[in-house]
Amino acid sequence: MSTRLPPTGRPHDEILSALDAKREGDADYKNGRTWSLVYWAGDEHHELLREAHDRLMATNALNPLAFKSLKRMEREVVEMTARMLNAPESAVGTMTSGGTESLLLAVKTYRDRARKKRPWILRPNIVAPETIHVAFDKAAHLFGVRLKLAPVGDDGAVDVDAMRRLVDAQTILLAASAPQYPHGTVDPIPAIAALARKKRLPLHVDACFGGFMLPWLERLGVAMPTWDFRVPGVTSISADIHKYGYGAKGASVIVYRDMDLLRHQFFVTTRWAGGIYVSPGLPGTRPGGPIAAAWAAMNALGESGYLALAKDAWQTAERLRAGIGAIAGLRVMGSPHATIVTWTSDDDAVDVFAVADLLQEKGWAVDRQQRPPSVHLTANASNAPIVDSYLADLAEAVAHVRARPELKHKGEAAVYGLMAKVPIDRLVAREVLGAVASMYAAGADPDAPPDTAAIDRHGPRLRALLDGLDEVRTRLGRLSWRGRKRTR
């Protein structure tokens, strides 16, 4: 039965009590048992953000003439971010609702720029690493741009020669990450920027994750490749304040080298009966709370605060890397450029997703990844007190899975393991879409997990398909071997 509005308003204390009850079972981010989603800088900082957010909560940055305070704060946030990223004095930008909007706007900006400067391009494309954030896939879908992906090496860095081979007369943008999310590796930005300059193309660096972390790690003496506006050829960078900037959700910044680029981000129309309409980003209404909280966070922490938090986060990541690397059967992926730690297993006896299931049962929020099966950890200063507990639980889970191989065919391990192997993306997407749709269906239980019945139902068929493909590969391998023998 659907929920209806109460016939009369409920008492405020009753509403707040009900709200607290609904939060039971949420991820325990305050005690460091989450590895992403929330970037926690302590109760005192959180209280400041809440206060700043609440004071501007009712305001709307849609009209900067009505709320000049928001425009002033947005300008200061963009300028502080630009200086942190070593941008030139000509740099300009805007705040957005998060990393996804920043990346959507980057694609929209360079698509519109290409339409004006290179109108003969009819089927525009973007060349990027295969590890580029999925928001680029969404942007390509929304804005009619093709996304061409280049492979990455064992260290997670993109193959620049492969990017070069993908560039053609229809390419309008190169993109790269600092760092990429799956493994924490910073792409070789100088080499990619050199390619961009040679081909006379813009280059957007997605530093939504690292923009408010990498500059401070470099200041702390961590070996760091150059990736920001110091690299000639980098034309824009996105950085999320609501991640390592420790602002409230959602707040991100996109910075361009100059106004000649930013102007293509704006949307303007004069045909509407409601008046001339201009928007710097995707939404119309732009809530003032996140802008005020971002401004407050950056001013409250300052350089010394960001350096201290970065130091603690880096030391936490290093402890994780060392501890995970010491567990037999596990391997840490990527390059240690950032505070991302991703582990996988090269041991057939240790199923990654079965280990993840056991960690989840122990109360850890687990971020599963694919290609290869792996687990992602975003290290924060708030995770420092629980590193030893995590490593102990991880070692115990690995030993348990090694002793009980049947676990990989149970629980979420079976679903993730199956879907990670299926080579037909559309088939996987269809089943996942069905599972997510079950969460939003009319009358659905909001506390119930997604319905994986469709996935489970097709499991035998998919496994049979995989077995058949393995048999085909085996036979092709034999034929290939016989062919080589005959040519000798």
pLDDT, tens digit (0-9, with 9 covering 90-100), for 279-308: 888 898 899 999 999 999 999 999 999 999
- Please tell me the distance from the alpha carbon of residue 151 to that of residue 142, in angstroms, as a whole number: 24
Give the mean pLDDT of 251-258: 96
- pLDDT at position 30 is 77
Q: Distance between alpha carbon 145 and the CA centroid of its chain, in Å?
A: 20
Amino acid identity of 182?
Answer: P
Q: Which residues pair with 177 in a beta bridge?
A: 206
Better-scored residue on pLDDT, 457 or 314: 314
pLDDT at 36: 76
pLDDT at 465 over 60: no
CATH number of the structural domain spanning residue 113: 3.40.640.10
In a domain, 163, yes or no: yes
Strands (E), 318-403: 330-333, 340-345, 367-369, 374-378
Same domain? For 88 and 230 the reply is yes
Least confident piece of the model among 110-124, 134-148, 222-236, 368-382: 368-382
Q: Verify that 284 and 428 share a domain, yes or no.
A: no
According to the model, what pLDDT value does residue 23 have?
86
Q: How many CA atoms lie within 13 A of 357 on its CB side?
A: 19
The residue type of 432 is V
Report d(CA 295, CA 78) in Å as an integer. 10
Report the pLDDT value the prediction gives residue 259, as an integer from 0 to 100: 92
Measured distance between the N- and C-terminal CA atoms of the chain, rounded to whole angstroms: 73
Mean local confidence (pLDDT), 32-47: 84
pLDDT attached to residue 144: 95
How many percent of the chain have pLDDT more than 70? 83
Q: What is the pTM of this model?
A: 0.84
Q: Mean pLDDT across the stretch 360-381? A: 90
Residues 111, 255, single domain; the answer is yes
Name the residue with higher pLDDT: 486 or 55.
Answer: 55
Range of the domain at 449: 422-476
**Model confidence over 70-109: pLDDT tens digits?**
999 999 999 999 999 999 999 999 999 999 999 999 999 9
Residue 196: its pLDDT value, please? 98
User: What are the strands of the beta sheet with 340-345, ordered from one edge?
Assistant: 330-333, 340-345, 374-378, 367-369
Contact 366, 356 (CB under 8 A): yes
In the predicted structure, residue 201 carries a pLDDT above the cut 70: yes
- The Cα 98–Cα 102 span in angstroms is 6
Tell whether the model's pLDDT for residue 439 goes beyond 60.
Answer: no
Give the model confidence (pLDDT) of 85-94 as tens digits. Answer: 999 999 999 9
Q: What is the mean pLDDT of the chain?
A: 86
Three-state DSSP at 36 gives: coil
Tokens 């957005």 belong to 96
Is the CB of residue 192 less than 8 Å from the CB of residue 203? yes
φ/ψ of 485, rounded to 5, equals: -65, -40
Confidence of residue 480 (pLDDT cuts 50, 70, 90): very low
Is residue 474 scored above 90 in pLDDT?
no
Stretch 426-438: mean pLDDT: 57
More confident residue, 40 or 384: 384
Whether the per-residue pLDDT at 1 is higher than 50: the answer is no
CA torsion angle for 401, 402, 406, 408 (degrees, to 10)?
Answer: 60
Looking at the structure, tell me whether residues 73 and 212 fall in a common domain: yes
360, part of any domain: no
Asked if residue 37 belongs to a domain, the reply is: no
314 and 220 Cβ atoms separated by less than 8 Å: yes
Higher-confidence residue of 413 and 39: namely 39
**Residue 405: per-residue pLDDT:** 84
Looking at 251, 271, 299, the residue that finishes a domain is: 299
pLDDT of 485 strictly over 50: no
30 secondary structure, DSSP code: T
Show which of 299, 314, 339 is a domain's final residue.
299
pLDDT of residue 424: 53
| pLDDT mean over 27-37 | 76
Lowest mean pLDDT among 201-215, 225-239, 327-341: 327-341
Confidence of residue 41 (pLDDT cuts 50, 70, 90): confident
In a domain, 339, yes or no: no
Rounded to 5 degrees, what are φ and ψ at 357?
-60, -45
In a domain, 126, yes or no: yes
pLDDT tens-place string over residues 138-193: 999 999 999 999 999 988 999 999 999 999 999 999 999 999 999 999 999 999 99
Number of structural domains (the chain) is: 2
Contact 192, 160 (CB under 8 A): yes
What is the SS3 assignment for 422? coil
- For residues 360-373, give the mean pLDDT: 88
Give pLDDT, residue 481. 46
Residue 426 in this model has a pLDDT that exceeds 60:
no
Torsion sign over Cα 182, 390, 317, 346: negative
In a domain, 86, yes or no: yes
Q: What is the reported pLDDT for 90?
A: 93
Asked if omega into 372 is within 30° of 0 (cis), the reply is: yes
Tell me the pLDDT band of 482, cut-offs 50, 70 and 90.
very low
Quick check: is 406 in a domain? no
Beta bridge partners of 310: none
Judge if 438 and 295 occupy the same domain.
Answer: no
Give me the pLDDT at residue 194, please: 98
**Which of 299, 326, 357 is where one domain is finished?**
299
Calculate mean pLDDT across residues 475-488. Answer: 48
In a domain, 321, yes or no: no
Q: Calculate the CA dihedral of residues 191, 195, 197, 198 and round it to 10 degrees.
A: 130
